[in-house]
Structure 1
Amino acid sequence: MNRFADLLDMLAFTPSRNAKLSLLQDYFRRVPDPERGYALAAIARDLDIPAVKPAQLRELISSRMDPELFGYSYDYVGDLAETIALAWPEKAVSRPGRNDAPGLAEVVETLQASSRREGPGLVEAWLDRLDPPGRYALLKLVTGGFRMGLSSRLIKQALAAFGKVEVNEIEELWHGLSAPYADLFAWLEGSGPKPVNAGAAPFRPVMLSHAIEDRDFEKLDPADFTAEWKWDGIRVQAASERGISRLYTRTGDDISAAFPDLVDAIAFDGALDGELLVARSAGGHIETGSFSDLQQRLNRKTVTARQLRDHPAFFRAYDLLQDGEEDLRSKPFIERRTRLESFVAGLNPERFDCSAMLAFDSWDDLAALRADPPYPVIEGVMIKRKSAPYLPGRPKGEWFKWKRDPFLIDAVLMYAQRGHGKRSGFYSDYTFGVWREPGELVPVGKAYFGFTDEELLEIDKYVRNNTIERFGPVRSVRAAADKGLVFEVAFEGIARSSRHKSGVAMRFPRINRLRWDKPPGEADRLETLERMIDGIE
């Protein structure tokens, strides 16, 4: 566990992406099998340890220290694993210099072979043998709560750099592999053959776009490009092979279990690239829901019959990557698009359609379409070169996204909550509101980024100096017409929502700038947001 603990510690305090890549490669190089494989599975969040749950960890620490004192500590630290690791009382046998710390492989393999009744006792014994960094690593391992700025793509890039192979090779193999990845590391080190992708319906690395800039239009001939709407859902890939169907996110995470209604409708052999939405057939056309509707289905391990009924999953296709056994990715986009339309025509129209192509002769024509989309769930346009093959990553000059300008409002800070990880000592999660009646603020959104580190220090100081109530880790701050902090908030979309007290829900809100100069009484009113909704419905 000691080497794994050191890795977690260094990753947590290394902001540089390239430095994180170097740390991972060095770990893979120095640490033998199977430990490095289990570490890889843990940080990639592909390691499931059902024998221990967070509630059981709370019971363990409650048996070692006063529960109320632990509660205060947890409120301050903001992270369960970190709090227990720091607060766990040292036993006399846990003196410095002991050499009986459990190994990572020992911990993983023992817990995976244990029941939920046995798991807590094992963890308790290991906590007594470990120092605070080791305890933190153990607890993160069993809870799966790693938050170190490591994306699935970055981890695979580290593996590719370690083995001097293309990252796309790693991505296409990934879902056919399992911890501790001995065959994968043997291949990357040159001591074994490349693993055979045994998994049916594999993930294909996605092609991404660049945000288009004004100067780009001067270099690009509109005759060389096509355009389609950019839908406000999440990018996904639907794949089916040998009777196995899967739904992947753009980073290759398998989300099939959360969308059984859509997966059951994947009645084809091939792979589609597209957008996951909530939509249903109504009066002969497809009625597409908002991103708020889609959120009812996201990040769920199980889905209820009511959610399936009220928020049916729908796939809007952008591209055809595989048709039966034929790989189409090397063909020009315009040819793939023609094949896509024929392919989707044979699928269930209650679950699949094609994103409509837009007719335009000039960039001014396209700008007019972008400024006045027919549906609120559209967030801009996609521009694609007709001759472009489907290339993994973000190739230059092939695909562009031209998003609508964000909405902007002035809102008043109402509540602040401690962050996690490196931000656990700061109030960095902010709930903001607008005026509904004279003197009444209603919350309309929450944001935790968009500000600099220097601005975070200023806001944190303001929160501490202007707290009027405390609710555990949350503080209510002074917010009146003549006293408060105003944020200029940017967001991508807005819709009506019965789940929120204000009746509205924002899409992707973030702090655009701090308005220390603006009196809170001059912040926006709820009617302003309602007019925005009326304008896009």
Structure 2
Amino acid sequence: MNRFADLLDMLAFTPSRNAKLALLQEHFRAVPDPERGYALAALARDLDIPSVKPAQLRELIATRMDAELFAYSYDYVGDLAETIALAWPEKTPVATGRNDAPGLTEVVETLIASSRAKGPALIEDWLDRLDAAGRYALLKLVTGGFRMGISGRLIKQALAGFGGVNVNEIEELWHGLAPPYLELFAWLEGTGDKPVNAAAAPFRPVMLSHAIDEADFDKLEPADFVAEWKWDGIRVQATSERGVHRLYSRTGDDISHAFPDLLDAFAFDGAIDGELLVARPQGTEVETGSFSDLQQRLNRKKVSAKQLRDYPAFLRAYDLLQDGEADLRGLPFHARRERLERFVKGLDPDRFDCSDMLSFSTWDELAALRATPPSAVIEGVMIKRKEAPYLPGRPKGEWFKWKRDPFLIDVVLMYAQRGHGKRSGFYSDYTFGVWRDTGELVPVGKAYFGFTDEELAQIDKYVRNNTIERFGPVRSVRAGLDQGLVFEVAFEGINRSSRHKSGVAMRFPRISRLRWDKPPAEADRLETLERMIDTPR
């Protein structure tokens, strides 16, 4: 575990993206199979270790230290694995790099072969043989949740750089590979053939857009572009091949299990790029649900019959990447769009339709359409060059997104919670509220980004100096008409919600600026938020 622990430590304290890539590539070069493959799987969250759960780790530490002392320590540190690693009492003096420390390969293969009943005893023995860094690596391995700025895309780019291949080749192979990736590393090192993608319905790297600036319009000719609505769902890729149906997120994660109702309608061979929504056909029209409706279906291991009935999944198609055996990505957009419209006509209209193309001849005309969208679930427009092929990544000058301006509202800080990882020493997760007519402050959302490190330190100091109650890791702060901290919060959308005390739910709230100058009594009221539900920005 020592080499894996060293890698985690260096990644955690390396802010530069290029430096992280270099660290990963050096690890792949220096560490032999299968250890480097297990490290890759752990960082890519492709390692499933069912024999140990967090609750069992809590039971383990309870045998070694006072439960209340651990609770205080966990509150301060903010991360279960890190707290146990630091607090675990060592039976004998431990020297860094001791030769009886277990290796990553031993740990992974032993745990995968073990039952849940035997897993905790294995962890306990290894914790006694490891130093603090090794214990942290072990516990992160079994709990997951690495917070080091390592995305799946960055890992694949590190592999591409290590082997001198295009990252898109890695992307298209990825879902046909399995830990410890022996064939992949042999190919990248030039000692083996390129792996054959045995996975049917593979993921194809997505094409992304650039946010458009006002100055860009002077350089672009409207006649060279088309436009369509940008819907407020999640970007997905629906792929079907040889009877295998898969639904991928934009980053290539397989989310098929959460949307069986949509997959049952995959009566095609091909790959569609589109927006996942909750929608209900109403005759010839489709009633599109809010993002809050879609959240009822996201990140679920199992979907109930009620969720399937109340929040039916729907795909609004933007592009066609594959039609049968024909790869269409090299064709210009307008040709792919013609194929897409014919393709979708053959699919179940209760589950699929095409995004509408917008008619405009000047940018001013498109601006007018953007300002008055026909649905609250539209967050702007997409502008696409007619001749653009489908290129992975974010090619310059081909696709642009022109989002509507965000909503802005002034709120009052009510609760603060410690962050994780680098923020574990700060109160960085904030619950905020607005006023009711009765003078009561009601919580309406949470935010944990949008501020600088300097502002974080200022807010943290305010929280500590103005705490009135504690609830585990959460602090309640002074928040009244005469005393409190006001935030300006930006958010992308709002809708009614029976799950929230306020009756409303925000989409992507983030702190826009701190309003030290504004008294809490002048923060916004709940009626203001309620009016925003049906009012265009």
1:438-453 map, 5 Å = 438-453=438-453
Residue 74 (structure 1) aligns with: 74
Counterpart CA distance in 1 for 2:193 and 2:534 is 60
Return the offset for 1:93: 6.3
2:85 paired with 1:85: yes
Residue 409 (structure 1) aligns with: 409
1:47-126 map, 5 Å = 47-92=47-92, 94=94, 98-126=98-126
Return the offset for 1:95: 5.3
Amino acid at match of 1:485: L
Q: Under a length normalisation based on structure 2, what TM-score does the superposition of the two structures give?
A: 0.99
Amino acid at match of 2:119: G
- Tell me the SS of whatever aligns to 1:20: helix
- Note if contact 1:41-1:180 (Cα within 8 Å) is conserved in structure 2: yes
Residue 495 (structure 2) aligns with: 495
2:527 paired with 1:532: no
2:505 paired with 1:505: yes
> Structure 1: 5+ residue runs without aligned partners?
none
Residue 302 (structure 2) aligns with: 302
Return the offset for 1:439: 3.0
1:49-448 map, 5 Å = 49-92=49-92, 94=94, 98-448=98-448
Amino acid at match of 2:492: E
- Note if contact 1:236-1:250 (Cα within 8 Å) is conserved in structure 2: yes
1:306-351 deviation line (CA, Å, top 9, x unaligned): 1111111111000000000000000000000000000000001111
Return the offset for 1:284: 2.9
- Note if contact 2:173-2:197 (Cα within 8 Å) is conserved in structure 1: yes
Return the offset for 1:283: 3.3
Counterpart CA distance in 2 for 1:382 and 1:99 is 58
Return the offset for 1:132: 0.6
1:232-273 deviation line (CA, Å, top 9, x unaligned): 000000001111000000010000111111111111100000
- Tell me the SS of whatever aligns to 2:533: helix
- Tell me the SS of whatever aligns to 1:408: strand
Return the offset for 1:42: 0.3
- Tell me the SS of whatever aligns to 2:402: strand
- Tell me the SS of whatever aligns to 1:483: coil
- Tell me the SS of whatever aligns to 2:50: coil
- Note if contact 1:482-1:520 (Cα within 8 Å) is conserved in structure 2: yes
Counterpart CA distance in 1 for 2:356 and 2:97 is 67
- Note if contact 1:370-1:381 (Cα within 8 Å) is conserved in structure 2: yes
- Note if contact 2:372-2:536 (Cα within 8 Å) is conserved in structure 1: no
Alignment size in residue pairs: 537
Amino acid at match of 1:16: S
Residue 514 (structure 2) aligns with: 514
Q: Residues 418 and 219 from structure 1, CA distance in 2 versus in 1: closer, same or farther, beyond 3 angstroms?
A: same
Counterpart CA distance in 2 for 1:33 and 1:112 is 17
Counterpart CA distance in 1 for 2:387 and 2:458 is 50
- Tell me the SS of whatever aligns to 2:348: coil
- Tell me the SS of whatever aligns to 1:349: coil
- Tell me the SS of whatever aligns to 1:459: helix
Task: Give the RMSD, CA atoms, in angstroms.
Answer: 1.0
2:42 paired with 1:42: yes
Counterpart CA distance in 2 for 1:182 and 1:465 is 55
1:144-171 deviation line (CA, Å, top 9, x unaligned): 1212111111110010011110000000
- Tell me the SS of whatever aligns to 2:495: strand
Counterpart CA distance in 2 for 1:339 and 1:463 is 57
Counterpart CA distance in 1 for 2:534 and 2:257 is 36
- Note if contact 1:375-1:536 (Cα within 8 Å) is conserved in structure 2: no
Counterpart CA distance in 2 for 1:451 and 1:37 is 37
Return the offset for 1:430: 0.4
Counterpart CA distance in 2 for 1:407 and 1:536 is 10
Residue 28 (structure 1) aligns with: 28
- Note if contact 1:491-1:507 (Cα within 8 Å) is conserved in structure 2: yes
- Tell me the SS of whatever aligns to 2:358: coil
Counterpart CA distance in 1 for 2:284 and 2:356 is 16
Amino acid at match of 1:526: L
- Note if contact 1:417-1:473 (Cα within 8 Å) is conserved in structure 2: yes
- Tell me the SS of whatever aligns to 1:512: strand
- Tell me the SS of whatever aligns to 2:173: helix
1:466-485 map, 5 Å = 466-485=466-485
Return the offset for 1:535: 1.5
Counterpart CA distance in 2 for 1:337 and 1:360 is 17
Q: Which runs of 4+ in 1 moved over 6 A?
A: none
Return the offset for 1:94: 4.1
Range with bigger deviation, 299-308 or 194-203: 299-308
- Note if contact 1:332-1:387 (Cα within 8 Å) is conserved in structure 2: yes
Return the offset for 1:37: 0.2
Amino acid at match of 1:487: F
> Structure 2: 5+ residue runs without aligned partners?
none
Counterpart CA distance in 2 for 1:521 and 1:14 is 43
Counterpart CA distance in 1 for 2:214 and 2:71 is 53
Return the offset for 1:534: 2.5
Return the offset for 1:302: 1.3
Amino acid at match of 1:113: A
- Tell me the SS of whatever aligns to 2:534: helix
Return the offset for 1:15: 1.3
- Note if contact 1:273-1:319 (Cα within 8 Å) is conserved in structure 2: yes
Q: Under a length normalisation based on structure 1, what TM-score does the superposition of the two structures give?
A: 0.99
Return the offset for 1:98: 2.9
Counterpart CA distance in 2 for 1:118 and 1:145 is 23
- Note if contact 1:439-1:480 (Cα within 8 Å) is conserved in structure 2: no
- Note if contact 1:74-1:83 (Cα within 8 Å) is conserved in structure 2: yes
Amino acid at match of 2:344: V
